[in-house]
Chains A and B, each alone.
Chain A
Amino acid sequence: MTINWFKYSSPATFYPLAGKMIPLFYALAAILTVIGLYISFFVAPTDATQGEAYRIIFIHVPAAWMSMFIYLVMAMWAGLGLVMNTRLSSIMAQALAPTGAMFTFVALITGAFWGKPTWGTWWEWDARMTSELILLFLYIGYMSLTAAIDDVRRADKAGAILALVGAVNVPIIYFSVKWWNTLHQGASVSITHAPSMAKTMLLGMLIMALAAWMYSIAVALSRARLLMLEREKSTAWAQEVLEQKS
């Protein structure tokens, strides 16, 4: 059996399909958040060195992971749009940017709220924090650039180049704690080592990360539908959608 994947890259097919999937992802996000928060506050033990302040980890780490991962996915879609000239790709890239920026902001702000009680400072210009701040500027830059250019195709192209060049920053963020002597601690979870934390702490963090994933997919798909409808407003399928709802 062969599946025609290109069928799903056409807005006319994608629009109703995404519409059906969005409530499912929101529901999963909500359920996982409830389970994740329960584990974070009622199952995970007090940390031996940091006391209760460490509980910020359950949002800080998932947010930081999402901030980097969404950027890579965004750059990939933008690059695909640039090379293949597919309509859906550039829309996906633009749909992801605000959510990525939101998670970057959350990672930075929760980092500050965690840094103050544990390091005694809200902010330090160390490699990890500075490169994460640059990530926030890259997201803002991408959104401003694509919004500032009226011609949609030109906006997509310019944005794609910015997104691709900026992708260099992501490995810098990730490896910053290894490459430089930073105030920020090293990775608690990595592929090569066993996690350096209690099992229930890790479980809480992973479930919260999964919730963040589901939320991101739901929001990005919702935004993609709006961008799609706006861009294709004069096509037959968009007219049909508008006709049905009005």
Chain B
Amino acid sequence: MNWGSWSNFIDMGGRGFYVWGSYLITLVCIVLELGLLARHKRTLWQRLTQIMKLNKQG
């Protein structure tokens, strides 16, 4: 597949909005999921290590 130029590639035969829109939304969904997962990890570790420290102090 030879697009000839960047503008042709972005234009996607006039369907650029739909094609790139789909890919962009998918990317956002994946980034969001990974972000939420990272946040979950951070807060859980903070909480659990905090509890552990408090337990040690007695």
Contact = CB atoms under 8 A, between A and B. Distances in A.
Given A245-B45, A246-B49, A55 B29 contact: no
B44 A230 contact: yes
A246 B45 CA distance: 9
Interface stretch (A5-13, A109-117, A155-163): A109-117
A222 interface: yes
Contact of B25 (A44, A106, A223): A106
Contacts of B23: 59
Prevailing SS type, chain A contact patch: helix
A221 B15 CA distance: 37
Interface in B10-37: 12-15, 18-19, 21-23, 25-26, 29-30, 33-34, 36-37
A31 to B, nearest CB: 16
Contacts of B30: 102, 215
B52 A219 contact: no
19 contacts: A41-B9, A42-B3, A43-B1, A53-B12, A53-B13, A55-B12, A99-B33, A102-B29, A109-B25, A113-B18, A113-B19, A113-B21, A117-B15, A222-B41, A223-B40, A233-B48, A239-B52, A242-B45, A245-B45
